[in-house]
Chain A
Amino acid sequence: MPHDVVSFERLAADAASRYADNGWPGSKDEAWRFTNINAIRKTEFSPADTAITGTSSEINFIHFINGVHQPIDNMSFNDGIICQKLTDNAGLSSALAAAIPHGHHVADFALAHASDGLAITIDQVVDNPLQMIFDYSGDGISSHPVVVIKLLPGADLTILEEHKGDGAGLSAPVMLFCVEEGAKLHHARRLIESDQRYHLGLNLVQQKSKSVYSGDMVMAGGDITRSETQVSLMEADAQSYLNAVYLGRDAQMRDVTSRIDHDAPDCQSFQRIHGVLDNQSKAVFQGKVKVERYAQKTDGNQMSRTLILSREAEANTKPELEIYADDVTCSHGATIGELDSDQLFYLMSRGIGCDEARQMLIEAFLMDVVDALDDPKREWLIEPIEHWIKTRVS
């Protein structure tokens, strides 16, 4: 779809004026009803210093520090990966400008403060994964990494993405993935920031015909952590898989928000979300699936399961189906429950201690989402899950 040419500078300036008008979402904003961000709203964050340089000799390694891409000397990539600044790629900055959802507070905040971004083009099958590491630090600092990745027709890429670091700061990454005809993007993301941090992320996925996007996420860190994913199935026969594991404890907030627009016939979307909440943690999963009138033969599935380890933990699930086509298969389901006492007793009756038995059952519940993945995605995601279980569950 042709759109106006918008430079990154103009995109940022437009976002800044929208952010000046609209600010943060209010508690009356439906998409934020269950996600209290008062702590973020009250903080006067200052954007990170942009003059940092790092070095790395790893291949296919992209490193952001406090939202700023490290202009690493000798950055090296496999054939098929073309990495540019977003300010140097008007095509992809224009694509991002067109993709930003109207009135999206967080996107506007992030783009208003971002100094630059990365534009990555993939033009073939790349065997080795692309690692994107986002490191954060410092109190009161906001970070706004912006990345646009476009897979040209027939390309194939695995991304291993990680957000980590400490300090009472805010991370607001904005990413756009354009998956062209027949291309495949395998995307594993782990959010493992330290307990004081805030994370509000927006991921946009645009899929052309016969493309596959499989996004798997483990959300294990941060005080308030929200990940929003919006997928547009723009052409026929595209498939999208969104799997997520979220883990909360203490007074943490977890928010997994998704929106899938079926704008073309014969597309499929599958979402599986498993969460574990301990102590007074809270979570919301809100997933909207919208099927346009002409998106016949749509297959849309959504399943959310939450395991509550404490009486004070709270899970909210808000599935939303908006269907205008008549020949579709759409389903959604949500369960919220505690550990099964029969299962716990069965394990303990074999001599397995209570803590270990609980860990085994929690692990089984979470593995259900990630176990079938291939390495390196599987390993990338299992590691933070096992770490969380070992250190958080007793």
Chain B
Amino acid sequence: MPLLEIENLHASIGDKPILKGINLTINPSEIHAIMGPNGSGKSTLSYVLAGRDGYEVTDGDIRLDGVSVMEMEADERARAGLFLAFQYPVELPGVGGMSFLRGAVNARRIEAGLGEIDHIAFVKTVREAANKLGIKDDMLKRAVNVGFSGGEKKRYEILQMALLEPKMAILDETDSGLDVDALRIVSEGVNALKTDDIGVLVITHYQRLLDYIIPDHVHILADGKIVKSGDKTLALEVEKSGYGEFTNAA
């Protein structure tokens, strides 16, 4: 069974249609990349998938594991195994990092009928995972994303992903704001997650990230529609010729 099915998805912000009929199927263990010019609707797609308020889905369906998520709130979708790494992670002043991470992990565990995680064991798990991503202990103690650099915020997104063990991960421009070292570390984090049944949707503006996270399929999004799909060579093609031909076509 496909992991994520996006079927004829139309979505608007206010009266303005942004997504204009998106079809995409992601099977377990596949990595898909969506590329597209700024303003083509990539972040909108990621938000609509994650269940953010303020978007009106005017047509179509989104199914996770064969079950429509259209009636599910963002938190239910997350507990069902969907994860979004934000293009712009949100600062939460006053919300301690550790209690945030624990709250998120416990929400999933309780849904799965497991008890709350042991406090001390959790701190250890978080430290180890953070260490692999080059996140310093001191960052874990701070309020969520407050005072983090752009790169630190992106690493922190990947840390959350590692701890939450999603079925389907969506990464919205995780590469932007990262230097080459950080890019490599973050990609290792993503690749480490790629067990047999996880699906990954990588959203990016540049081909660069795809040198580290090798996609099985590449799709070009322009003006709210997927205008071309192919294998990883499509990304290289776009890198060379730019998005011009697609935006003109759209």
Contact residues of A with B, CB < 8 Å?
341-343, 345-354, 356-357, 360-361, 363-365, 367-368, 371
Contact = CB atoms under 8 A, between A and B. Distances in A.
B78 A341 contact: no
A76 B8 CA distance: 78
Contact of B107 (A342, A350, A367): A350
B104 A351 contact: yes
A348 B90 contact: no
A349 B84 contact: yes
B90 A346 contact: yes
B93 interface: yes
A342 B75 contact: no
A268 to B, nearest CB: 25
B73 interface: yes
A368 B96 CA distance: 12
Q: Ordered nearest first, which 5 A-B pairs have the shortest CB separation? A: A364-B94, A350-B104, A351-B78, A351-B107, A346-B90
B75 A343 contact: no
Given A345-B74, A348-B78, A353 B107 contact: yes
Contact of A346 (B86, B94, B103, B107): B86
B52 interface: yes
Contacts of A371: 94
A343 B53 CA distance: 12
A251 B172 CA distance: 44
13 contacts: A341-B53, A347-B92, A347-B103, A349-B50, A349-B51, A349-B74, A349-B83, A349-B86, A350-B104, A351-B104, A356-B103, A357-B75, A364-B95
A341 B164 contact: no
Nearest to B90: A346
B244 interface: no
Contacts of A357: 75
Contacts of B83: 349
B111 interface: yes
Contact of B90 (A343, A354, A360): A343
B75 A352 contact: yes
Contacts of B92: 343, 346-347, 361, 364
B90 to A, nearest CB: 4
A348 B73 contact: yes
Given A349-B84, A351-B75, A368 B93 contact: yes
Interface residues of B, number: 29
Nearest to A371: B94
Nearest to A363: B94
Interface of B: 50-54, 73-75, 78-79, 83-84, 86, 89-95, 100, 103-104, 107-108, 111, 143, 160, 164
Given A364-B94, A367-B94, A350 B78 contact: yes
Contact of A352 (B54, B89, B91, B103): B103
A354 B94 contact: no
A360 B144 CA distance: 12
Given A343-B90, A346-B90, A356-B103, A351 B164 contact: yes
A371 B52 CA distance: 31
A341 B51 CA distance: 13
Contacts of A347: 92, 95, 100, 103
A356 B111 CA distance: 14
A353 B79 CA distance: 10
B170 to A, nearest CB: 10
B156 to A, nearest CB: 12
A368 to B, nearest CB: 5
B122 to A, nearest CB: 15
B104 A352 contact: yes
Contacts of B160: 350
A360 B94 CA distance: 9
A54 B52 CA distance: 57
Nearest to A364: B94
B75 to A, nearest CB: 4
Contacts of B51: 348-349
B73 A354 contact: yes
A365 B75 contact: no
B163 to A, nearest CB: 10
Contacts of A353: 75, 107
A342 B79 CA distance: 19
Contacts of A349: 50-52, 74-75, 78, 83-84, 86
Contacts of A360: 95, 100, 103
Contacts of A356: 103, 107
A352 B107 contact: yes
Given A346-B90, A361-B95, A363-B94, A351 B111 contact: yes
B157 to A, nearest CB: 10
A69 B143 CA distance: 45
Contacts of B100: 347, 350, 360
A87 B94 CA distance: 47
A364 B92 CA distance: 8
Contacts of B95: 347, 360-361, 364
Nearest to B94: A364
Contacts of A368: 93-94
Nearest to B50: A349
B180 to A, nearest CB: 28
A352 B74 CA distance: 9
A334 B80 CA distance: 41
